Structure 1
């Protein structure tokens, strides 16, 4: 069975109520490929607003969550809270959470496990820095990060999308070629086949998240192991529609 293309729009810490409404209205009125799953990663404070105006063809994700259901964790939100306002996805392990906020593999794995336990679906992010790539450690890093998730996910891979985001190609002016992106996706799928199972390797969707734009999305979408995109800045712009439709 072919893997359904999945495009996530990660707004990061951007926008206000007016812009949130405008982005969603633009997507609501646009003709989107019905064979593509579209997920919007909205700042936590705007999740209820987004849910109130989101059409059925779009899904909603939080950009982060904590590893337990409730308690004295000032500033955090739980999967239970995310579900309570009607969102169904959460983005975990994003490179900014790792590099800016110091999140380690084991913490991210705990968060993924609890999110899945709570009934959320997860976009789980992996990827190497420029120093790691130039040091010849790109595959080693990506395999290590993925391995940390395996026991937390268990048999729930159908509720997980992996997002490969080469950190060196995000907002740096450097870009990964479609060939580089496909190569890493193929390596990752091969690793999953040998270290999890061939069926999981065939099932799991792997997004590409390295500065995707309307100009490079179509070529990237033609790669056999790229099953979608996790889009940052471009998800705030009208061109996001073209990115969603890139696999058509």
Structure 2
């Protein structure tokens, strides 16, 4: 088994039912890779009904209970989701999520039959201080649970300072982090060499092919450029050709 190639779109807090027209166009893009859309919760069932792989953007660690506004992993699965993004930097920052909380959510996702897309990444201050590899190693150790396999988990490296800023790390910087992730996962898990590793952070049609040529980059977690088929389609095409 080798890592599966995955083009994942994170729509964040964007999209309405009118956006389903973009889904139809994205589905029409010839793809030699897996394609996933993670819309806001209001659209999960509608997007899943189109036949494209669909994911949530977060889930609660508990299976049910008095957690107003939260969504359980099983509820995501119930409306057609196959994946869920966990530990995105915006969740870590805006909601003060910790590595152990992310790991608990990943366990819940696995128990519900969802693939957990666990995000890791350093801030600009951490990058500038030379702490990137230490930060990523610590996040992998504490955010990725022991029940992880290549079938139930995807890891996304998203340098916080590159998300939505138009800035992208150098190829060498991306390669260094992805090599570290592959090394750590391979050492810890029996099939760690087969876990899909995504890069995220200002991925665009113009830089996608270059990023996908970097060793151990098996796809991308795309934000803004996944909202329109005109942008996401070329990224899917670039990954298919990689």
Check whether TM > 0.5: yes
Match of 2:127 in 1: 133
CA contact (8 A) 1:169 1:176 kept: yes
Match of 2:217 in 1: 226
Task: Indicate whether 1:244 and 2:236 are aligned.
Answer: yes
CA–CA distance in structure 2, aligned partners of residues 154 and 3 of structure 1: 18
CA contact (8 A) 1:116 1:153 kept: no
For the residue of structure 1 that corresponds to 2:65, the secondary structure is coil
Match of 2:164 in 1: 171
What pairs up with 1:6-155 in 2 under 5 angstroms? Answer: 6-19=6-19, 21-30=20-29, 32-33=30-31, 35-52=32-49, 54-55=50-51, 58-150=52-144, 152-155=145-148
What is the number of equivalent residue pairs in this alignment?
239
Runs of 4+ aligned residues of structure 1 deviating over 6 Å after TM superposition are none
* Bigger Cα displacement from structure 2, 1-10 vs 58-67: 1-10
CA contact (8 A) 2:11 2:227 kept: yes
Q: Note closer, same or farther for the CA distance 1:155–1:183 as it changes in structure 2 (3 Å cut).
A: closer
CA–CA distance in structure 1, aligned partners of residues 141 and 184 of structure 2: 9
CA–CA distance in structure 2, aligned partners of residues 178 and 229 of structure 1: 14
CA–CA distance in structure 2, aligned partners of residues 234 and 202 of structure 1: 29
Q: Note closer, same or farther for the CA distance 1:43–1:146 as it changes in structure 2 (3 Å cut).
A: same
CA–CA distance in structure 2, aligned partners of residues 111 and 178 of structure 1: 31
Match of 1:156 in 2: 149
Q: Note closer, same or farther for the CA distance 1:158–1:174 as it changes in structure 2 (3 Å cut).
A: same
CA contact (8 A) 2:101 2:143 kept: no
State the TM-score, normalizing by the size of structure 2. Answer: 0.94
Q: Deviations over 1:181-210 (max 9, x none)?
A: 11210111122233x04x433111110001
What are the ranges of 5 or more consecutive residues in structure 1 without an aligned counterpart? none
Q: Note closer, same or farther for the CA distance 1:155–1:9 as it changes in structure 2 (3 Å cut).
A: closer
For the residue of structure 1 that corresponds to 2:191, the secondary structure is helix
CA contact (8 A) 2:150 2:192 kept: no
Q: Give the alignment's Cα RMSD to 1 decimal.
A: 1.4
For the residue of structure 2 that corresponds to 1:77, the secondary structure is coil
CA contact (8 A) 1:7 1:244 kept: yes
1:158 Cα deviation from its structure 2 partner: 2.1
